Every structure is written in structure tokens, then in C-alpha cells.
Amino acid sequence: MSGKFITLEGGEGAGKSTLARALAARLGRAGVDAVVTREPGGSPGADAIRALFVRGAADKFAPLTDALLIAAARSDHVARTIAPALAAGRWVICDRFTDSTRAYQGAGRGVDVRTLAALDALIDAPVPHLTLVLDLDPKSGVRRSQGAQAGEDRFEKMDLAFHERVRAAFLSIAADEPQRCAVIDAAKDKDAVLAAALAAIAARLGVQA
Amino acid sequence: MSGKFITLEGGEGAGKSTLARALAARLGRAGVDAVVTREPGGSPGADAIRALFVRGAADKFAPLTDALLIAAARSDHVARTIAPALAAGRWVICDRFTDSTRAYQGAGRGVDVRTLAALDALIDAPVPHLTLVLDLDPKSGVRRSQGAQAGEDRFEKMDLAFHERVRAAFLSIAADEPQRCAVIDAAKDKDAVLAAALAAIAARLGVQA
């Protein structure tokens, strides 16, 4: 039986990576073997592309170049990490995936959503069984996030209007695809966020953890 | 008036970069301002992607990942170097372009030619006014090329059958598009190669240099 694919989405400082680790620990205690991964990155080739992508000036690459770099990294990540884990029956918890591209490169930087969809089709990106959208006011998020990962601040440097567009895009995706997405209030403390995520997993995927 | 776009194509060690410099010098003396550039690379963003691409193990990235990385680099190169130069009326001489992707990632590594065409359409890659295909037996070419650029040997490491497929692909592209392409015997000395290239420029583009 193939595993479940859960993606965590949201702006800077929303607590996605903390939640990913906490979910894997709880699922593990419930007997579910879950791999935690992230984008950009998640395989040696994709991590090398990440290093190029997340550092430097905000306009280092044109918006379409960013979208193609993310697609390149995702093709490696899917082929070498996500697809093999799912095929082996493991669950995959991925910190950022296609919705981040739609929010950051699409709504944030103006790349046509059809271009992004064409790239995801080209690389055969799997559709998540569940996407948890961690919603947070960008003013709190960028403040929480600063310095979290030394030097990886290319997108944090974007202005507040950019981060507002990103937040609106995540909420719009969640509203358009309520079967796949659950929105969680990321302003709450991390135990409350974890409880909300576990409730969504129980309701949508039928696993109590 | 917009400038002319000339691409130089062919396998390892065929003498493309030497010819590019010689052509620009001769065109300059004939009053044509020509920019010399190359792929992967040709703009600061694309050069950063090149550094990732041309070093390391032959299977460092999956074939589709390679194609997407090249498309990312090309999108930056076209937007920031090639298109502005042509719009300013300068000629552009580019060492490798879309035909190299068709030969190396397509024929060499098995990426579907329709995928490569879709990526070039996405990034609005200009069609060259003239493509000079420098044809050379891969056994001589790889030998000539070794050590030419320290560490940039990821594709030189591919086996001879790979380089034979690449050569056949270049010849097939030239046969399919005789209006755009001229094949030059790169086994000849560099003065004879330059003379053949200048003859093609005179015949196809109407400029004596």
C-alpha cells in the first residue's frame, strides 16, 4: 500500500518545520513511519539548487527563472525522495510544495499560474492527500522568522505587500480546494497548532496520532 | 534594426569558443558589433546555475532535472543578455544554445524532445538566424577538450556511445533545418574552420567579414 503525502504550507515564520517534526514524532508513536522533507531541497541535487535559490538579492533571478529552478529542484526531490518513500508505504511530510510556488512565484512575483501548472505536470508532481495551510499575519511571521536560517533570507527581504499577496494566495488555494486543504491559525501556540493538525489528519486520513 | 543571432553548436572539443572569439574579431573589423556569450551561463544568474551544472558526477541530476536547470539558466540569459543586445542592434554569437539541449539532454540522456520544445517556448527562446554545427569525431573531440576548463567535465565523463548520440543528433538537426544550419568540418585547422564560418555568414546573412 502506498503512503500518504502531507504538505505544510504558509508564509515565513508560520512554524511549518516545527510542526513537521512534531507530526512525524506523533505519527511514529502511532506506528506510522513518516519521512520529513522540505522544499526547495529534500534530495542532494535539490539541496544544491536550494543553496543557489534562497540566498542573495531578491531580484537575483527573474521570476520565471525562479519558477524553473524550483521545478528543477522539485523534479529531483520527487524522483529521488518523495516517490520512492510513498511507493515503500511510508508517509511523507513535506515543508512547502507546489502551493508555495503558486503563492511566491505566482501571486508574489507574477508568473502565470498556467506556466506553473504546466511545469508541475511536466515533472509529474504528486497531489498531496492533505495540505495544512498555516495562516499567519505576515508582520508577525517575518519577525519570527528572521535569523532562523543564517543567510537564507532572499524571500524574507521582499516587501510587506509581497508577503500579503503570498498569504492571500494560500487562503485562496485553500478555499478553492477544501477537500485537500485545511487552514490552521498559526498565531496560536505550538501545542494548539499540533492539535489542530492532528485533528485534520484524523478527520481526513482516518489516522489517530 | 535588431541584430543577428548566431549559435555555434557541436560536441566537446570541436573548437566552438575559439571560433566565437575569432568571428567576433572579424565581424568587428567589418563594422559589426558582436557580443560573444555561451551556455550554460552568459548572465550572472545563469553563470551561477552553470557552476552547479557542469561539475560533479555524470548522474548528479536526473535527465529532466538537467533540462529544467538549463531552461532556468537560459531564461535568465535570454532576458538579461541576448534579447537586450539584439534589441540594441548588436549581433550575438552564442557558444551552445537550444540545439545542445536537444542533443545532450534529448538524444544523449533521453528527455522527450516535446518536453524540451515546451520549455523553450515557455522561456521565449529566440530562433537563431544562423547555426554553425562544428562536426567532429567524438574520439578526437573529447581528447582535445580534456582539461580545457578545470573541473567542468561532467559531460566529458559520459561514455563514447553518449557522445556518438550527441553527434548524430546535431547532424540530424542540421539536416532537418538546412535554412538555419550549416555544418562545418571541425577536424580541419582553425583557419579553415573560420573561413568556412565566414563563408556561411556571407551566404546566409549577407555580411562579408
Its pTM surpasses 0.80:
yes
Give the pLDDT confidence score for residue B141 in this predicted structure: 77
Q: Give the best residue of A50, A55, A66, A69 to mutate against chain B (max B CB count within 10 A).
A: A69
Give the pLDDT confidence score for residue A189 in this predicted structure: 94
Q: How close B41 comes to chain A (CA, Å)?
A: 13
Q: Which amino acid is at A41?
A: G
The one-digit pLDDT tens for each residue of chain A (209 residues) are 579 999 999 998 889 999 999 999 999 999 999 999 999 999 999 999 999 988 888 788 989 999 999 999 999 999 999 999 999 999 999 999 999 999 999 999 999 999 999 999 999 999 999 999 999 999 887 777 765 566 677 777 778 899 999 999 999 999 999 999 999 999 999 999 999 999 999 999 999 99
Q: Does B71 touch chain A (CB under 8 A)?
A: yes
Of A65, A80, A118, the CB nearest to B72: A65
Quote the mean pLDDT of chain B.
Answer: 92
The DSSP code for A6 is E
**A205 within 8 A of A130, measured Cβ to Cβ:** yes
Report helix, strand and coil shares of chain B as percent, to nearest 5: 55, 15, 35
Q: Which amino acid is at B20?
A: A
Give the pLDDT confidence score for residue A149 in this predicted structure: 63
The DSSP code for B94 is E
Separation between Cα atoms, residue A127 and residue B48, nearest integer Å? 31
Average pLDDT in the B161-190 region? 96
CB-based burial, B51-78: b 16+ in 10 Å, e otherwise: ebbbebeeebbbbbbbbbbbbbbbbbbb
Of A68, A69, A79, the CB nearest to B62: A79
Give the pLDDT confidence score for residue B155 in this predicted structure: 72
pLDDT at B202 over 60: yes
Q: How many beta-carbon pairs under 8 angstroms link A with B?
A: 73
**With pLDDT > 70 as the criterion, what percentage of chain B qualifies?**
96
Residue contact A62–B49, C-beta within 8 A: no
For B100-124, write each residue's pLDDT tens digit. 999 999 999 999 999 999 999 999 9
Give the pLDDT confidence score for residue A153 in this predicted structure: 72
Give the pLDDT confidence score for residue B1 in this predicted structure: 55
Average pLDDT in the B6-35 region? 95
Q: Does A72 touch chain B (CB under 8 A)?
A: yes
Report ipTM (2 d.p.). 0.85
CATH class of B5-204: alpha beta
pLDDT at B147 over 60: no
Give the pLDDT confidence score for residue A166 in this predicted structure: 95
For A72-118, write each residue's pLDDT tens digit. 999 999 999 999 999 999 999 999 999 999 999 999 999 999 999 99
Q: How close A7 comes to chain B (CA, Å)?
A: 22
C-alpha cell at B101: 539541449
